[in-house]
Amino acid sequence: MLNYAGKTAVITGAGSGFGLEVARVAAKRGMNLVLCDVQADALDKAAAEFEGQVPVLARRVDVAKAAEMEALAAAVKERFGAPNFVFNNAGVGSGGLIWENTLADWEWVLGVNLMGVVHGVRLFTPMMLEAAAADPGFEGHIVNTASMAGMLNPPNMGVYNVSKHAVVSLSETLYQDLGLVSEQVRCSVLCPFFVPTGISQSHRNRPAEFASGKPSKSQLISQAMTDKAVTSSKVTAADVAALVFDAMDREQFYIFSHPKALAGVQTRLEDVMQLRNPTDPFHDKPEIGQQLKAALRNRS
């Protein structure tokens, strides 16, 4: 997709991180903005930033809730018609040993990270395909935010890994399915590594219905390690937003913020192809693995 002016972008998780930075690029390219976020104050601040620049529709939406996403889709169609760019980006993080994740953890993380993308795909893809059938000049692109955790399986991050692997699978299937029916609507999957976005503090927006009680030791350790990795990253959310638009310009499916991390993906695939047990994820940094084992095995 090369022409953006006057077209419409739907962005979930638009109040911060990748969503906000993608909205900034979209606004510079003259797109109408549909901004969605579950955090009302962040959403209001984002909407105010673009006031007077481009047409904006801002709605507080919990992407995990089908009815709220259905209402959003109806509002987008009424205001702008079919969107040209859908960024299914809202996400939350949660770590810990996989058997220590509570049912509430699973329901919250899968609800946002997976079902939020499912709702975006099932609601907006038909609108885009209908517009494409009616207009040979229509161009559409869907970008789903997964993670490098959707390509790898880092320990102590089980529920998050599962949600992001599902998004990668969904996106790869969507790519193939779209290819069967249209040349005008395409898709990509965004797989960022550790980037400062606020997702490591996503518990700030955790609904009371999914309260999980006191975090376990493994969850506290996961939180600390994630916070450290995120704050030390040299890649910014603005850098990633630029990669998203570059991928759409070039009709590129996979979007990686840290290409060096693909070495781990290659090792994982070689494990599969050679029928060998999963490689130690800390084989190149054994001191980190030893520290993690020591912390988890310390019963005090």
Provide the residue ranges of all domains of the chain, joining segments of one domain with +. Answer: 8-261
What digits encode the pLDDT tens for the residues 229-241? 777 778 999 999 9
- What secondary structure does DSSP assign to 133-176, as a single string? HH-TT--EEEEEE--GGGTS--TTBHHHHHHHHHHHHHHHHHHH
Closest CA to 142 of 193, 54, 83: 83
pLDDT at residue 300 above 70? no
Mean pLDDT of 26-43: 97
Residues noted as catalytic: 160
pLDDT at 206: 76
State the Cα–Cα distance between residues 215 and 81, nearest whole angstrom: 44
The rounded distance, in Å, linking the Cα atoms of 111 and 115 is 5
CATH fold of the domain at 8-261: Rossmann fold (3.40.50)
What proportion of the chain, given as a percentage, has pLDDT over 70?
A: 97
- What pLDDT digit, counting tens, does each position of 101-160 carry? 999 999 999 999 999 999 999 999 999 999 999 999 999 999 999 999 999 999 999 999
